[in-house]
């Protein structure tokens, strides 16, 4: 259970209260506000605040580009135009705040995105819980052989059990060491009165990277979409992708027009190189092109063929 009883009670209270506001509201997002959406074995994301909606994007664009029309169909057209032409600033006018619980190795990838505000649980001040990530059996995979980054075949059977036992065993032991170093019981008294216990800021180094941490993470919509484009991508590590996909669902509730534009012009779009465009032009003109005559490397050729192959369209 990813949430403490106390957290669950706080969420129930927060969800039970409504107030009046003159600000724009988004009922579909209000519906899930504060709720924990489970991710991985002990993690979650929760939307805890937001500012703006699709109309705020349109309004910001109208400030820049002058007066426009206001019908919904035209809002979608304008948002599509902005996304297509990478006019980024109107999307920066919306802001969202998440509460996220995630394994430390995922947090390390995540934090590389520098354009967000973060408040992380501090193990200098506080004691981490005994919660660590162990992959579900279908998520255990070998190293990819064609790609130095990434996963190959799923590991099954006894080998899988061996992996899980090892991960669990080492994490349990790491936590036991951490607890022994801290030497504090739940009431903050020494568990073993014969020695003093180590400072929290030092003891934490005994924990492994699959332990869970949590943070508040606040970001504008433009930078959130950039994050999701990278982290919901099939090349992203599964564990961070799981978070990105849960967040995509919240974006769909929050700014449905921007979400559609994002799928069409970013997530499911592709950038084709100068030489790749030449290949397409030659093919459409009826020329037979193969890799050696394409000017593309073998790898780029494979990727381009995968992209434009009619079968991929089905």
Write out the binding residues for a second copy, residues 9-68 only, by CB under 8 A.
Answer: 14-15, 17-25, 30, 33-34, 49-52, 56, 59-61, 63-67
Q: Does 252 bind a second copy (CB under 8 A)?
A: no
Among 173, 185, 249, 302, binds a second copy (CB under 8 A): 173
Q: Does 218 bind a second copy (CB under 8 A)?
A: yes
* C-alpha closest to that of 121 among 143, 138, 99: 99
Among 54, 75, 131, 220, binds a second copy (CB under 8 A): 220
CA distances (Å), 196 to each of 128, 175, 180, 206, in order? 19, 18, 11, 17
Beta bridge partners of 43: 39
State which H helix or E strand residue 44 sits in.
Answer: strand 43-51
Q: Does 104 bind a second copy (CB under 8 A)?
A: yes
Q: Which stretch binds a second copy (CB under 8 A): 38-46, 196-204, 245-253?
A: 196-204
The tokens of 158 are what? 């006894």
Among 45, 58, 98, 135, binds a second copy (CB under 8 A): 135
**Backbone angles phi and psi of 96, in degrees to 5:** -140, 150
Report yes or no: 26 and 257 within 8 Å, Cβ to Cβ: no
Q: Which is nearer to a second copy, 8 or 309 (CB)?
A: 309
Maximum distance among all Cα pairs of the chain, rounded to whole angstroms: 85
Q: Does 130 bind a second copy (CB under 8 A)?
A: no
Among 12, 74, 162, 298, binds a second copy (CB under 8 A): 162
Beta bridge partners of 212: 103
Q: Does 193 bind a second copy (CB under 8 A)?
A: no
Q: Does 73 bind a second copy (CB under 8 A)?
A: no
Q: Does 89 bind a second copy (CB under 8 A)?
A: yes
The tokens of 209 are what? 């990277």
**Span 136-155, contacts to a second copy by CB under 8 A:** 140-144, 148-153, 155
Q: How far is CA 43 from the centre of its chain?
A: 12
Dihedral, CA atoms, 254, 258, 261, 266, nearest 10 degrees? Answer: -90
| Residues binding a second copy: number (CB under 8 A) | 134
Q: Does 272 bind a second copy (CB under 8 A)?
A: yes
Among 44, 98, 212, 215, binds a second copy (CB under 8 A): 215
In the set 46, 200, 204, 231, the catalytic residue is 231
Q: Which is nearer to a second copy, 174 or 228 (CB)?
A: 174
Q: What is the DSSP string of 117-167?
A: EEEE--TTTSPPPS-B----GGG-EEEPSS-SSSEEEEP-HHHHHHHHHHH
Cβ 253 to a second copy shortest distance, Å: 14
Active site residue 231: yes
Active site residues: 231
């Amino acid at each position: 259970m990813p949430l403490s009883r106390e957290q669950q009670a706080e969420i129930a209270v927060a969800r039970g209260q409504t107030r009046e506001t003159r600000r724009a509201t988004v009922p579909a997002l209000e519906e899930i506000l504060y709720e924990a959406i489970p991710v991985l074995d002990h993690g979650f994301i929760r939307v805890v605040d937001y500012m703006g909606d699709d109309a705020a994007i349109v309004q910001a664009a109208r400030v820049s580009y002058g007066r426009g029309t206001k019908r919904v169909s035209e809002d979608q057209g304008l948002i599509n135009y902005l996304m297509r032409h990478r006019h980024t600033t109107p999307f920066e006018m919306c802001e969202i705040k998440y509460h996220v619980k995630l394994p430390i190795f995922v947090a390390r990838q995540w934090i590389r995105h520098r354009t967000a505000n973060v408040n992380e649980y501090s193990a200098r001040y506080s004691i981490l819980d005994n919660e660590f990530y162990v992959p579900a059996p279908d998520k255990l995979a070998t190293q990819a052989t064609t790609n130095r980054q990434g996963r190959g075949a799923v590991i099954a059977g006894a080998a899988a059990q061996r992996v899980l036992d090892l991960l669990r065993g080492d994490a349990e032991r790491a936590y036991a060491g951490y607890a022994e170093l801290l030497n504090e019981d739940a009431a903050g008294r020494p568990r073993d009165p014969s020695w003093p216990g180590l400072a929290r800021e030092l003891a934490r180094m005994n924990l492994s990277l699959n332990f869970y941490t949590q943070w508040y993470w606040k970001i504008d919509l433009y930078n959130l979409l950039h994050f999701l484009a990278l982290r919901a991508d099939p090349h992203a590590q599964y564990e961070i992708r799981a978070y990105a996909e849960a967040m995509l669902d919240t974006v769909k509730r929050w700014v449905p027009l921007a979400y559609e534009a994002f799928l069409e012009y970013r997530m499911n779009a592709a950038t084709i190189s100068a030489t790749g465009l030449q290949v397409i032009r030659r093919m459409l003109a009826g020329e037979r092109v193969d890799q050696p005559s394409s000017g593309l490397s073998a790898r780029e050729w494979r990727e381009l063929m995968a992209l434009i192959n009619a079968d991929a369209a089905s």
